[in-house]
Amino acid sequence: MGYGIKLHVCGDYACFTRPEMKVERVSYDVMTPSAARGLLEAIHWKPAIRWVVGRIHVLNEIRFENVRRNEIENKISTSAIKNAMNGKTATLAQVVTEERQQRATLMLKAPAYLIEAHFDMTAAAGSEDSPEKHYNIFLRRARQGQCFHRPYLGCREFAAHFKLIEPDEEMPVSFYSDKPDKDLGWMLHDIDFMNNMTPKFFRAEMRQGIVRVPPFAEGV
C-alpha cells in the first residue's frame, strides 16, 4: 500500500472516448480511471509501482462541444515497412487527399477534476524501491510542475495542467456537490494488460460530484 495523493487537473477540452463510439468519437461524461492513471504516469511512473485511482471528483459542469476534423483512414502497415527495410519498393507515405475521412469528436469543454489515487508496489520492485521514495518523487514533481511528458485529457491535443493538492489544503468544491446523484452508466475502468488487453468496466455513479472507483478486480 502506497501513500495517497490528490492531484487537481484541468484543461480547455477533453475526450475520454467511449469504446462503443470511437469512429466518430464521443466522450464519456467524466474522466475514466484509465485516463487518470495515464495522467499520473505522465508525471511519475516506474515498473516498480502501479497507480490505483480511488476517486475522481468532477469539479466543473459537464458540457460538450463538437469538432469535425480531416483524419487519415489507415495505419502504417508492417509489411510495407519490412519491404522498404529490405530494399524493395514500397509505398510508405500516406496521401491525405486519397485517404481522407472526416470524423467528428464530441468532446468535453473546460473539464476540471481532482484525482485521488495511491500506488501499489509491483513484483518488479527491487531492493532500492521503497514506497516513500516513489511517493516523494511524485510529490516533488507535482509541486514543481515537472513531468515525464505533458499529461493530457484523453487525447494528446487536449493538454492538461496539474497542481498538487497538499494534505492540509482545502479541496476545490465541485459544481455537483449539492446536485442530485447521477448514474453515469457503465464506464471503462481500465485495460487488463496481463490478460490479452481485455477491457474491464464498472458502474459509475456520481455522488456530490465524486465518482468512486472500485478495485480493478471488481470490474467486469
Instruction: Give the footprint of other proteins on this chain (CB under 8 A).
Output: 12-13, 65-72, 75-78, 81-82, 84-97, 102, 104, 109, 141, 144-150, 152, 156-159, 161-163, 197
If the CB atoms of residues 101 and 207 are measured against other proteins, the closer one turns out to be: 101
CB 85 within 8 A of CB 77: no
Q: Which is nearer to other proteins, 21 or 203 (CB)?
A: 21
The three grid cell numbers given for residue 44, joined into one nine-digit string: 511519475
108 within 8 A of 14, measured Cβ to Cβ: yes
Shortest Cβ distance from residue 43 to other proteins (Å)? 9
Q: How far is the CB of 109 from other proteins (least distance, A)?
A: 8
CB-nearer residue toward other proteins: 55 or 163: 163
The torsion angles phi and psi of 200, rounded to 5 degrees, stand at -120, 145
Say which residue the cell 532500492 belongs to: 128
In angstroms, the CA 137 to CA 139 distance is 6
- Residues with Cβ within 8 Å of 67's Cβ and at least 6 positions away in sequence, in order, are 104, 105, 107
The residue among 47 and 215 lying less far from other proteins, judged by its C-beta, is 47
Least CB distance to other proteins at residue 98 (A): 9
Dihedral pair phi/psi, residue 39, rounded to 5°: -65, -40
CB of 10 to other proteins, least distance (A): 9
